[in-house]
Amino acid sequence: MNVKREQSFAGAMDLVLQAQAATDHLKELCAACACGDKSAARRRLREAISELEIARTMLRTGLE
């Protein structure tokens, strides 16, 4: 097996966990919007974006 290929998948589960956390924030964003809570909606959107940026960085690092 290709050792480099195995190493690039070592953080795959962490990447999935970051994406799931972002999904949770987006669900909370929807709930905040439904309640008309703009402050909470903004906060949840920022949190989702942060989680996705972390996941993107992890993916880039894993591919290098």
What per-residue confidence (pLDDT) applies to 26?
97
Q: Return per-residue pLDDT of the chain as tens, 64 residues.
A: 455 555 555 678 888 899 999 999 999 999 999 999 999 999 999 999 999 999 898 888 776 6
What per-residue confidence (pLDDT) applies to 58?
85
What per-residue confidence (pLDDT) applies to 12?
81
What single string gives the DSSP state of each residue in 1-36? --HHHHHHTTTHHHHHHHHHHHHHHHHHHHHHHHHT
Domain boundaries, the chain: 16-63
What per-residue confidence (pLDDT) applies to 15?
87
